[in-house]
Chains A and B, each alone.
Chain A
Amino acid sequence: MSDAGSGGWAEHGIHEHLAHIPHARALGVVLVEYRDGHCVVRVPYSEHLVGDPDTGVIHGGVITAVLDNASGMAVPRQDLAPEQRAIATLDLRIDYMRPAEPHKDLMVTAECYQLTRSVAFVRARAWQADDEKLIASSVATFMLGANRAVPPGFNNLEGAK
Protein backbone atom coordinates (compact mmCIF):
# COMPACT_ATOMS: atom_id res chain seq x y z
CA MET A 1 0.00 0.00 0.00
CA SER A 2 1.48 3.32 -0.90
CA ASP A 3 1.99 5.94 1.70
CA ALA A 4 1.02 9.43 0.68
CA GLY A 5 1.05 10.88 4.15
CA SER A 6 2.24 14.36 3.40
CA GLY A 7 0.66 16.45 0.76
CA GLY A 8 0.35 13.67 -1.82
CA TRP A 9 -2.55 12.93 -4.10
CA ALA A 10 -4.27 10.91 -1.44
CA GLU A 11 -4.26 13.75 1.04
CA HIS A 12 -5.55 16.20 -1.51
CA GLY A 13 -8.21 13.70 -2.50
CA ILE A 14 -9.38 13.02 1.02
CA HIS A 15 -9.82 16.72 1.77
CA GLU A 16 -11.88 17.12 -1.37
CA HIS A 17 -13.80 13.98 -0.44
CA LEU A 18 -14.57 15.23 3.09
CA ALA A 19 -15.61 18.63 1.77
CA HIS A 20 -18.20 16.85 -0.38
CA ILE A 21 -19.92 15.02 2.48
CA PRO A 22 -22.70 17.38 3.58
CA HIS A 23 -23.39 15.55 6.82
CA ALA A 24 -19.72 15.59 7.82
CA ARG A 25 -19.66 19.33 7.15
CA ALA A 26 -22.81 19.82 9.22
CA LEU A 27 -21.25 17.92 12.13
CA GLY A 28 -18.06 19.97 11.81
CA VAL A 29 -15.71 17.04 11.05
CA VAL A 30 -12.11 18.19 10.56
CA LEU A 31 -9.38 15.94 9.17
CA VAL A 32 -6.37 15.83 11.50
CA GLU A 33 -4.26 13.08 10.01
CA TYR A 34 -4.50 10.92 6.90
CA ARG A 35 -2.68 8.22 5.06
CA ASP A 36 -4.10 5.44 2.93
CA GLY A 37 -5.81 3.07 5.38
CA HIS A 38 -5.70 5.34 8.41
CA CYS A 39 -7.25 8.61 9.49
CA VAL A 40 -7.82 10.81 12.51
CA VAL A 41 -10.64 13.34 12.66
CA ARG A 42 -11.73 15.93 15.18
CA VAL A 43 -15.21 17.28 15.85
CA PRO A 44 -15.18 20.53 17.81
CA TYR A 45 -17.69 20.62 20.66
CA SER A 46 -20.82 22.44 19.56
CA GLU A 47 -24.23 23.14 21.08
CA HIS A 48 -26.16 21.58 18.21
CA LEU A 49 -24.61 18.17 18.91
CA VAL A 50 -25.87 18.01 22.49
CA GLY A 51 -28.03 15.01 23.39
CA ASP A 52 -28.57 15.74 27.05
CA PRO A 53 -29.41 19.39 27.70
CA ASP A 54 -29.02 18.88 31.47
CA THR A 55 -25.35 17.97 31.22
CA GLY A 56 -24.32 19.33 27.82
CA VAL A 57 -23.01 15.91 26.78
CA ILE A 58 -23.06 15.24 23.04
CA HIS A 59 -25.50 12.65 21.72
CA GLY A 60 -24.40 9.06 21.12
CA GLY A 61 -25.66 9.46 17.57
CA VAL A 62 -22.95 12.03 16.91
CA ILE A 63 -20.32 9.48 17.94
CA THR A 64 -22.04 6.89 15.74
CA ALA A 65 -22.00 9.25 12.78
CA VAL A 66 -18.38 10.28 13.23
CA LEU A 67 -17.19 6.68 13.73
CA ASP A 68 -19.00 5.73 10.53
CA ASN A 69 -17.55 8.67 8.66
CA ALA A 70 -13.96 8.17 9.82
CA SER A 71 -14.18 4.42 9.23
CA GLY A 72 -15.30 4.99 5.66
CA MET A 73 -12.47 7.44 5.06
CA ALA A 74 -9.96 4.90 6.35
CA VAL A 75 -10.83 2.45 3.56
CA PRO A 76 -7.72 2.66 1.37
CA ARG A 77 -8.63 3.94 -2.06
CA GLN A 78 -5.23 4.48 -3.62
CA ASP A 79 -4.73 0.93 -4.87
CA LEU A 80 -8.31 0.37 -5.91
CA ALA A 81 -9.63 0.59 -9.43
CA PRO A 82 -11.84 3.69 -9.89
CA GLU A 83 -15.03 1.61 -10.00
CA GLN A 84 -14.08 0.02 -6.66
CA ARG A 85 -13.73 3.33 -4.83
CA ALA A 86 -17.40 3.88 -4.08
CA ILE A 87 -18.06 2.17 -0.77
CA ALA A 88 -21.14 1.37 1.30
CA THR A 89 -21.28 0.48 5.00
CA LEU A 90 -22.49 -3.10 5.49
CA ASP A 91 -22.52 -3.01 9.25
CA LEU A 92 -21.19 -0.99 12.12
CA ARG A 93 -21.03 -2.16 15.71
CA ILE A 94 -20.26 0.35 18.42
CA ASP A 95 -19.42 -0.19 22.08
CA TYR A 96 -19.81 2.81 24.34
CA MET A 97 -17.38 2.64 27.26
CA ARG A 98 -18.10 5.89 29.04
CA PRO A 99 -20.12 9.03 28.47
CA ALA A 100 -18.39 11.87 26.68
CA GLU A 101 -17.55 14.90 28.77
CA PRO A 102 -19.18 18.21 27.83
CA HIS A 103 -17.28 21.05 26.15
CA LYS A 104 -14.52 18.78 24.85
CA ASP A 105 -13.74 18.02 21.23
CA LEU A 106 -14.46 14.53 19.97
CA MET A 107 -11.55 12.67 18.34
CA VAL A 108 -11.80 9.52 16.24
CA THR A 109 -9.01 7.33 14.87
CA ALA A 110 -9.90 4.74 12.25
CA GLU A 111 -7.77 2.04 10.71
CA CYS A 112 -8.48 -0.42 7.94
CA TYR A 113 -6.94 -3.66 9.16
CA GLN A 114 -8.02 -6.00 6.40
CA LEU A 115 -8.90 -5.50 2.78
CA THR A 116 -10.23 -8.16 0.45
CA ARG A 117 -11.37 -7.87 -3.15
CA SER A 118 -14.85 -6.79 -2.15
CA VAL A 119 -14.85 -5.98 1.58
CA ALA A 120 -12.89 -3.64 3.85
CA PHE A 121 -12.68 -4.26 7.61
CA VAL A 122 -12.17 -1.17 9.73
CA ARG A 123 -11.86 -0.53 13.43
CA ALA A 124 -12.12 2.86 15.06
CA ARG A 125 -11.78 4.44 18.49
CA ALA A 126 -13.35 7.60 19.89
CA TRP A 127 -11.86 9.64 22.66
CA GLN A 128 -11.75 13.27 23.69
CA ALA A 129 -9.06 15.86 23.25
CA ASP A 130 -6.53 15.92 26.11
CA ASP A 131 -7.90 12.68 27.53
CA GLU A 132 -6.69 9.27 26.43
CA LYS A 133 -9.59 7.31 27.92
CA LEU A 134 -11.72 5.57 25.32
CA ILE A 135 -15.33 6.67 25.10
CA ALA A 136 -16.30 4.29 22.30
CA SER A 137 -14.88 1.78 19.87
CA SER A 138 -16.30 0.28 16.72
CA VAL A 139 -15.81 -2.31 14.02
CA ALA A 140 -17.28 -1.84 10.59
CA THR A 141 -17.32 -3.60 7.25
CA PHE A 142 -17.61 -1.82 3.94
CA MET A 143 -18.55 -3.15 0.54
CA LEU A 144 -16.14 -1.99 -2.14
CA GLY A 145 -17.42 -0.99 -5.55
CA ALA A 146 -20.87 -0.54 -4.07
CA ASN A 147 -22.10 1.60 -6.92
CA ARG A 148 -20.87 3.31 -10.03
CA ALA A 149 -20.61 6.75 -8.53
CA VAL A 150 -16.94 7.45 -7.90
CA PRO A 151 -16.80 9.65 -4.80
CA PRO A 152 -15.42 13.18 -5.17
CA GLY A 153 -11.72 13.30 -4.46
CA PHE A 154 -11.16 9.72 -5.53
CA ASN A 155 -11.81 10.10 -9.23
CA ASN A 156 -8.31 10.81 -10.41
CA LEU A 157 -5.87 9.02 -8.19
CA GLU A 158 -4.07 7.51 -11.19
CA GLY A 159 -0.44 8.46 -11.32
CA ALA A 160 -0.40 9.03 -7.60
CA LYS A 161 2.15 6.34 -6.99
Chain B
Amino acid sequence: MKLLRELRAEGKGQDMAALLERIPYARFLGLEVDRKGNELTTVLPFAEHLIGNVALPALHGGTIGAFLEFTAVIQLLFDTESERLPKTVDISIDYLRSGRPVTTYGRAIITKHGRRVANVRAEAWQEDRSRLIATAHGHFLLTPVDE
Protein backbone atom coordinates (compact mmCIF):
# COMPACT_ATOMS: atom_id res chain seq x y z
CA MET B 1 0.00 0.00 0.00
CA LYS B 2 1.34 3.35 -1.06
CA LEU B 3 0.50 5.20 2.14
CA LEU B 4 2.37 2.83 4.46
CA ARG B 5 5.30 2.51 2.06
CA GLU B 6 5.59 6.29 1.83
CA LEU B 7 5.57 6.66 5.59
CA ARG B 8 8.29 4.01 5.94
CA ALA B 9 10.35 5.74 3.25
CA GLU B 10 10.07 8.98 5.24
CA GLY B 11 11.25 7.14 8.34
CA LYS B 12 7.75 7.48 9.83
CA GLY B 13 6.86 3.79 9.85
CA GLN B 14 5.95 4.03 13.52
CA ASP B 15 4.67 7.59 13.43
CA MET B 16 0.98 6.87 13.93
CA ALA B 17 0.13 10.57 14.15
CA ALA B 18 1.48 11.03 10.62
CA LEU B 19 -0.63 8.08 9.49
CA LEU B 20 -3.81 9.45 11.07
CA GLU B 21 -3.26 12.81 9.39
CA ARG B 22 -3.52 11.06 6.04
CA ILE B 23 -6.71 9.13 6.77
CA PRO B 24 -9.73 11.35 6.05
CA TYR B 25 -12.04 9.48 8.45
CA ALA B 26 -9.51 9.85 11.30
CA ARG B 27 -9.44 13.59 10.63
CA PHE B 28 -13.24 13.66 10.58
CA LEU B 29 -13.35 12.05 14.04
CA GLY B 30 -10.49 14.28 15.25
CA LEU B 31 -8.49 11.25 16.34
CA GLU B 32 -5.04 11.76 17.87
CA VAL B 33 -2.39 9.43 19.21
CA ASP B 34 -0.11 9.89 22.18
CA ARG B 35 3.13 7.92 22.27
CA LYS B 36 5.23 7.36 25.35
CA GLY B 37 8.12 5.05 24.45
CA ASN B 38 6.53 1.96 23.04
CA GLU B 39 3.13 2.68 24.60
CA LEU B 40 0.39 4.13 22.48
CA THR B 41 -2.78 5.81 23.68
CA THR B 42 -5.38 6.93 21.19
CA VAL B 43 -7.10 10.17 22.10
CA LEU B 44 -10.48 11.37 20.91
CA PRO B 45 -11.13 14.95 22.03
CA PHE B 46 -14.80 15.70 22.49
CA ALA B 47 -16.58 17.33 19.57
CA GLU B 48 -20.23 18.13 18.98
CA HIS B 49 -20.52 15.93 15.88
CA LEU B 50 -19.57 12.80 17.87
CA ILE B 51 -22.74 12.94 19.95
CA GLY B 52 -25.46 10.32 19.59
CA ASN B 53 -27.84 11.42 22.30
CA VAL B 54 -28.29 15.14 22.80
CA ALA B 55 -30.55 14.76 25.81
CA LEU B 56 -27.89 13.21 28.07
CA PRO B 57 -25.59 14.18 26.25
CA ALA B 58 -23.65 11.03 25.29
CA LEU B 59 -21.21 10.02 22.59
CA HIS B 60 -22.66 7.99 19.72
CA GLY B 61 -22.12 4.24 20.13
CA GLY B 62 -20.76 4.19 16.62
CA THR B 63 -18.21 6.84 17.51
CA ILE B 64 -16.94 4.65 20.36
CA GLY B 65 -16.95 1.54 18.16
CA ALA B 66 -15.00 3.27 15.41
CA PHE B 67 -12.58 4.66 18.00
CA LEU B 68 -11.88 1.19 19.43
CA GLU B 69 -11.43 -0.24 15.94
CA PHE B 70 -8.91 2.51 15.15
CA THR B 71 -7.16 1.87 18.48
CA ALA B 72 -6.73 -1.82 17.60
CA VAL B 73 -5.54 -1.13 14.05
CA ILE B 74 -3.05 1.53 15.13
CA GLN B 75 -1.54 -0.81 17.71
CA LEU B 76 -1.18 -3.49 15.02
CA LEU B 77 0.49 -1.09 12.60
CA PHE B 78 2.80 0.13 15.34
CA ASP B 79 3.86 -3.39 16.34
CA THR B 80 4.22 -4.93 12.87
CA GLU B 81 5.46 -3.77 9.52
CA SER B 82 2.50 -4.21 7.25
CA GLU B 83 2.06 -3.85 3.52
CA ARG B 84 -1.56 -2.76 3.85
CA LEU B 85 -3.88 -1.50 6.53
CA PRO B 86 -5.16 -4.49 8.52
CA LYS B 87 -8.63 -5.55 7.46
CA THR B 88 -11.20 -6.07 10.17
CA VAL B 89 -12.68 -9.56 9.99
CA ASP B 90 -14.92 -9.11 12.99
CA ILE B 91 -15.19 -6.85 15.98
CA SER B 92 -17.32 -7.20 19.07
CA ILE B 93 -17.96 -4.15 21.20
CA ASP B 94 -19.25 -4.11 24.76
CA TYR B 95 -20.68 -0.82 25.92
CA LEU B 96 -20.21 -0.44 29.66
CA ARG B 97 -21.07 3.17 30.39
CA SER B 98 -22.37 6.05 28.34
CA GLY B 99 -19.62 8.18 26.83
CA ARG B 100 -19.76 11.63 28.34
CA PRO B 101 -18.94 14.79 26.37
CA VAL B 102 -15.27 14.78 27.37
CA THR B 103 -12.02 13.38 25.91
CA THR B 104 -11.90 9.60 25.41
CA TYR B 105 -8.71 7.51 25.62
CA GLY B 106 -7.98 4.10 24.18
CA ARG B 107 -5.42 1.33 24.50
CA ALA B 108 -5.11 -1.97 22.68
CA ILE B 109 -3.33 -5.24 23.40
CA ILE B 110 -2.53 -7.82 20.77
CA THR B 111 -3.68 -11.05 22.37
CA LYS B 112 -2.39 -13.27 19.62
CA HIS B 113 -0.38 -12.30 16.59
CA GLY B 114 -0.45 -14.98 13.93
CA ARG B 115 1.01 -14.74 10.49
CA ARG B 116 -2.21 -13.80 8.77
CA VAL B 117 -4.64 -13.00 11.56
CA ALA B 118 -4.27 -11.06 14.79
CA ASN B 119 -6.59 -11.12 17.78
CA VAL B 120 -6.73 -7.74 19.49
CA ARG B 121 -8.44 -6.38 22.59
CA ALA B 122 -9.07 -2.69 23.06
CA GLU B 123 -10.54 -0.59 25.82
CA ALA B 124 -11.78 2.97 26.13
CA TRP B 125 -12.10 5.22 29.14
CA GLN B 126 -12.55 8.89 29.94
CA GLU B 127 -11.53 10.64 33.15
CA ASP B 128 -10.91 7.47 35.14
CA ARG B 129 -8.93 4.57 33.68
CA SER B 130 -10.54 2.15 36.12
CA ARG B 131 -14.02 3.04 34.84
CA LEU B 132 -13.98 1.77 31.27
CA ILE B 133 -16.74 3.03 29.00
CA ALA B 134 -16.33 0.28 26.39
CA THR B 135 -14.20 -2.71 25.45
CA ALA B 136 -13.78 -4.51 22.14
CA HIS B 137 -12.12 -7.56 20.75
CA GLY B 138 -11.66 -8.36 17.14
CA HIS B 139 -9.80 -10.27 14.47
CA PHE B 140 -7.79 -8.49 11.82
CA LEU B 141 -6.36 -9.79 8.58
CA LEU B 142 -2.70 -8.87 8.08
CA THR B 143 -0.53 -8.46 5.02
CA PRO B 144 3.12 -8.81 6.08
CA VAL B 145 5.63 -6.66 4.21
CA ASP B 146 7.51 -9.59 2.70
CA GLU B 147 4.49 -11.02 0.89
Q: What is the interface of chain A, defined by CB distance below 8 A to chain B?
A: 20-27, 47-54, 58-62, 64-69, 72, 86, 88-96, 99, 146-147, 149-152
Contacts and interface: CB of A to CB of B under 8 A. Distances in A.
B25 A68 contact: no
B94 A64 contact: no
B87 A20 contact: no
Given A54-B2, A69-B60, A92-B61, A20 B54 contact: yes
A24 B48 CA distance: 11
A134 to B, nearest CB: 13
A149 B4 CA distance: 45
B143 interface: no
16 contacts: A23-B51, A24-B60, A26-B49, A49-B25, A49-B28, A50-B23, A52-B1, A53-B22, A62-B25, A64-B62, A65-B65, A69-B61, A91-B93, A92-B61, A96-B90, A151-B55
A99 B89 CA distance: 10
B69 interface: yes
A65 B66 contact: yes
A65 B60 contact: yes
Contacts of B59: 23
A139 B3 CA distance: 33
A21 B55 CA distance: 10
B3 A23 contact: no
A35 B136 CA distance: 31
B89 A64 contact: no
In the complex, the 10 A-B pairs of residues with the closest C-beta atoms, listed nearest first: A65-B62, A61-B66, A149-B55, A23-B60, A26-B49, A59-B25, A68-B62, A64-B65, A93-B92, A89-B61
A66 B85 CA distance: 21
A114 to B, nearest CB: 19
A108 to B, nearest CB: 11
B91 interface: yes
A95 B87 CA distance: 11
Nearest to A58: B25
Contacts of A147: 56, 98
A60 B88 contact: yes
Interface in B33-75: 48-56, 59-63, 65-67, 69-70
B25 A61 contact: yes
A144 to B, nearest CB: 14
B95 interface: yes
Contacts of A149: 53, 55-56
Contacts of B29: 61
Given A51-B23, A60-B69, A89-B61, A151 B92 contact: no
A117 B89 CA distance: 33
A86 B29 CA distance: 25
A113 to B, nearest CB: 18
